[in-house]
Structure 1
Amino acid sequence: MAELNAPDHVDYVIVGAGSAGCVLAARLTEKPGVTVALVEAGGADSNPWIRVPLGFGKLVRNPSVLWDYRTEPEPALGGRQLSFPRGRVLGGSSSVNGLVWLRGARQDFDGWAKSGASGWSFDEVLPYFRRSERMLAPSDDTALHGYEGPVPVSNGRPSAAARAFVAAAQQAGHAANPDFNGARLHGAGLAPTNIERGRRVSMADAYLRPALRRQAGIFSVLGATVSSLIMEEGRAAGVRLRLADGSQHTIRAGRETILAAGVTNTPQLLMLSGIGPAAHLRDMDIAPIADLPVGDGLQDHVLARTGYHSRDVLTLNGVMRNPLRQVAAGLEYAFARRGPLAIAATEACLFADVLPRGDSSDHAPDVQIQFANFLIEDYQRGLGPTQGFVYSVCVCRPHSRGTIRLASPDPAASPAIQANYLADDRDMAATLAGLRLCMNLSRQPALQAITARRVAPIDTDSDAALADYVRETAATVFHPCGTVRMGQGADAALTPDLRVKGIRDLRVCDASVMPVIPSTNIHAATVMVAEKAADLILAA
């Protein structure tokens, strides 16, 4: 991994071979003669669990494929420091995530445009969603979907418990939704995923490997940490990097340098290079080059779980805690690519309103309820010993905002992550209302038939007790974004075409750019951003 297999000069340097970086490298090199250096701090995506859909549970605790970050003490969560992992491997978080492919609501992207990100309304970004997708099942809304793109989208084979969850939501009065990426987001249904023939399809699989097979001008550099940008008279001219063997190198960009290093590492690298809040940079003994709100506006979905012991239904706990069932599941997956190992972590969802509204205008849902066919306390401790399942609530568009800052001017130091989860009282109110919705679902006949008893929260039903439970147990659902937002005002570090303000030939292309978090999982929106960014860059 210490070998530098890229020339000293290329057209474009892309920092980060995650979802956005893989998309960009593939799309930019569709233009003949273009050369790209794709620099990734992690290694190859050779871990066998990456290809297994349920391998997510093995990967989310594996520092060999993750930036194993933690937040600063969270004031609204009793001072707890939460795990905040990000992908550090070829394919980035698309190689380690829960595989759910949800775009968000139309109102999310129309809100981006209204906030100053002109060109990013739903109708303007829809072509890029469609360009990325290859739907593996028919839809009633064919005009909203793509069928020839690189990313497979399917609903898979749900467990019996997931089917019961969807039925219970309908019994509670929520509409069925067979297509969350269709005309509406509200309702209950199966979660679309990036699984094809029982295997995870990362963005390295979907975009990068096909580009390499056509002998595109992509030079991938793995195991290389970028220490700073090369800044020359207000222009980003490339990157300085350190390889795994400790050697130092530079790669210069003739056209543009593009940061796709993710919601934590992109702002960290900008600040290390003198681009960010001037006062903070001076505190770090870094001379400011551009005083910009880099690292501000961190947003994330935080979830609170309801957990239940099950009966008369097989859940993942029963499979993985029984040696014979383990062997049977392994054989079924090895020979047929089916069974428990071929299922994503989130199998089904409900998007619903839980807050009072003063009007009946069209709006995005308040909460997302995610169903998983296993019982855990948290991802670090893994599966519990008893069969069960969880359904968890997260507020679709939280009001709380956090920051990314430098903890040290040392590029090897982890950034300081202050997520400020549930710091805004409106987010706690929506979370509590969502938990009550979960409890109502558990009382519906479809779920009552397979539920033994509630184990989390235990005997906790008052608002005060539920709020204490949330503060003690809430965790990220791994959707951080918005730390280098695009827009036109002083609160935006980027222009709507993703250029860093005041710096020539430097763009950002990852989840950092999102002005407001989408109402759903954010992976599909991140790929869309990269698809559109490729067109913006090639048109320059």
Structure 2
Amino acid sequence: MHSQNSNGLLHLTQADPEDSALTQAFLEAARILRTAGEKLDFAPAQNTIHRGQRWSSIHAYLRPALGRPNLHVLLDTLVTKVLIKQNTTIGVEIQSPDGHKQSIHAYREVILSAGAINTPQILMLSGIGPWQQLEQYGIEVIADLPVGFGLHDHLNLPLYVSITSPVSVTLSKMQRLPELWQYMTHGKGYLASSAILGVGSADPDLGLVLFGLGSTHEGLLRDIANFKSSTFRGLFPFSQNTSQEGFVLLASCLQPLSRGTVSIRSVDPTQAPVIDPQYLIHPYDVTCMTKAVRLAVRVVDMAPFQILGAKLHLPHLDECRHLVPDVRNDVYVECIVRTAAITGHHPAGTCKMGSPSDPATVVDPLLRVRGIAGLRVVDASVMPTPISGHPNSVLMAMADRAASLISNS
């Protein structure tokens, strides 16, 4: 890894092909495929890492501002609803851990930034949402808007590739005393890396992420991905081997057309909302994911990876055991995608931004909730379509733009 820019608020690092044989092979494989006529865009991965830790927006923006007299942060506090009077926002209701509720008055505006899952929940509990659902729970309808619709997310199918060259991150390497010392004293080494080494895209809407982790240990990773044990072992044949060299390619569809919903299950704000992502409900997404899997196979088959002794291990899953593992078989690929693909944790779209004349719109281009004065939404829920990649930087740019809009209003 090398630092790309540390002059701003964020610290960016980028995988260095000169230090990573896997990144180098990834880029070289793409070059060969482009020479053969494929439209590809592969690049070293960028990370927001500083001194061995993820440098998030909390580090970059919130912590430097904590001492300001006009900022007060409440911890362990739940926003239960937005308070609205005559279609004008007057504040918010909050609840402390002991159940005590109180109201906070807003002099100008309320900026709702609870994410693509909780923002629609708060709006619906406040009386802003589909009237049928609100009336079902006895909530007074203040604005009948399509809140909670349009949920989109990226799916990733992990494909494990074993290699014979000692160039990946393994658990046995990370557990060595010199590595622990390097991390604790200098914030460097394997433990200071995300192990994400490369990202790539190809027409149409195909995405790949190179994850340079050879040790896919079940005890560490299975619960994180919420896999059944049998599924995990079917994906990662060396899941008990702490020294196995290899990497994972995440195959993804960057612009899925499937749309899900977020809805409330109760008027109790502590009850989690109902999330129905409806992954792969649109046939295009199945086709797109199938092509992404086949792209991963082609990349691994290129000479730069074969020199490293690369062998891709197609998933052997109980649900697909009646099918011969063959990426040329559409039925087999669809089966492994439907069984083992996991969320990219990029939910968005549940409070769509768009033209006020569009009936699917919840917020206008200035992020104001339609028909409600003094209320804006600034988070991923306003994104009308998916970002072709990780939305982190886009959301920060959105927040920066929103700050300008609010300051100048």
- Normalising by the smaller structure, the TM-score range is 0.7 to 0.9
Is the CA contact (8 Å cut-off) linking 1:321 and 1:385 kept in structure 2?
no
2:269 corresponds to which of 404, 408, 411: 411
Is the CA contact (8 Å cut-off) linking 1:197 and 1:337 kept in structure 2?
yes
- Structure 1 window deviating more from structure 2 (514-523 vs 338-347): it is 338-347
Is the CA contact (8 Å cut-off) linking 1:372 and 1:390 kept in structure 2?
yes
CA distance change for structure 1 residues 174 and 433 in 2, over 3 Å: closer, same or farther?
farther
Equivalent positions of 1:391-410 (< 5 A) are 391-410=249-268
- What's the counterpart of residue 390 of structure 2? 521
- What's the counterpart of residue 296 of structure 1? 149
Deviation of the 1:497 alpha carbon: 0.5
Deviation of the 1:452 alpha carbon: 5.0
Q: Secondary structure at the match of 1:204?
A: helix
TM-score computed with the length of structure 1 as normaliser:
0.66
- What's the counterpart of residue 130 of structure 1? none
Inter-partner Cα distance in structure 1 for 2:240 and 2:32: 30
Inter-partner Cα distance in structure 2 for 1:322 and 1:534: 45
Deviation of the 1:535 alpha carbon: 0.8
1:208 matched to 2:62? The reply is yes
2:191 corresponds to which of 324, 337, 341: 341
Is the CA contact (8 Å cut-off) linking 2:34 and 2:40 kept in structure 1?
no
Q: Secondary structure at the match of 1:507?
A: strand
- What's the counterpart of residue 25 of structure 2? 164
| Structure with more contact order per residue of length (Cα contacts < 8 Å, sep ≥ 6) | 1
Is the CA contact (8 Å cut-off) linking 2:300 and 2:310 kept in structure 1?
no
1:285 matched to 2:134? The reply is no
1:510 corresponds to which of 376, 379, 390: 379
CA distance change for structure 1 residues 500 and 321 in 2, over 3 Å: closer, same or farther?
same
Amino acid at match of 1:476: T
Deviation of the 1:224 alpha carbon: 0.3
Q: Could you give the per-residue CA deviations for residues 124-152 of structure 1, whole angstroms, max 9, x where no partner exists? A: xxxxxxxxxxx9538xxxxxxxx854122
Segments of structure 1 that go 5 or more residues without pairing to the other structure are 1-52, 54-134, 139-146, 176-184, 356-365
Amino acid at match of 1:380: D
Q: Could you give the per-residue CA deviations for residues 375-432 of structure 1, whole angstroms, max 9, x where no partner exists? A: 5476526793232211011111111111111122211111111111111111110111
Aligned residue pairs total: 375
Inter-partner Cα distance in structure 1 for 2:79 and 2:370: 21
Q: Secondary structure at the match of 2:66?
A: helix
Amino acid at match of 1:266: T
Root-mean-square deviation (CA), in Å?
A: 2.4
Inter-partner Cα distance in structure 2 for 1:332 and 1:456: 36
1:478 matched to 2:341? The reply is no
Q: Secondary structure at the match of 2:305?
A: helix
Q: Secondary structure at the match of 1:250?
A: strand
Q: Secondary structure at the match of 2:93?
A: strand
Q: Secondary structure at the match of 1:222?
A: coil
CA distance change for structure 1 residues 442 and 290 in 2, over 3 Å: closer, same or farther?
same
1:331 matched to 2:181? The reply is yes
CA distance change for structure 1 residues 369 and 499 in 2, over 3 Å: closer, same or farther?
same
1:373 matched to 2:212? The reply is yes
Equivalent positions of 1:79-478 (< 5 A) are 136-137=3-4, 149-157=8-16, 159-173=20-34, 186-213=40-67, 215-316=68-169, 318=170, 320-321=171-172, 325-353=175-203, 355=204, 366-374=205-213, 376=216, 380=223, 384-386=239-241, 387=244, 388-451=246-309, 453-458=311-316, 459-461=325-327, 462-478=329-345
Amino acid at match of 2:349: G
Segments of structure 2 that go 5 or more residues without pairing to the other structure are 226-235, 317-324
Q: Could you give the per-residue CA deviations for residues 68-106 of structure 1, whole angstroms, max 9, x where no partner exists? A: xxxxxxxxxxxxxxxxxxxxxxxxxxxxxxxxxxxxxxx
Q: Secondary structure at the match of 1:517?
A: coil
- What's the counterpart of residue 229 of structure 2? none
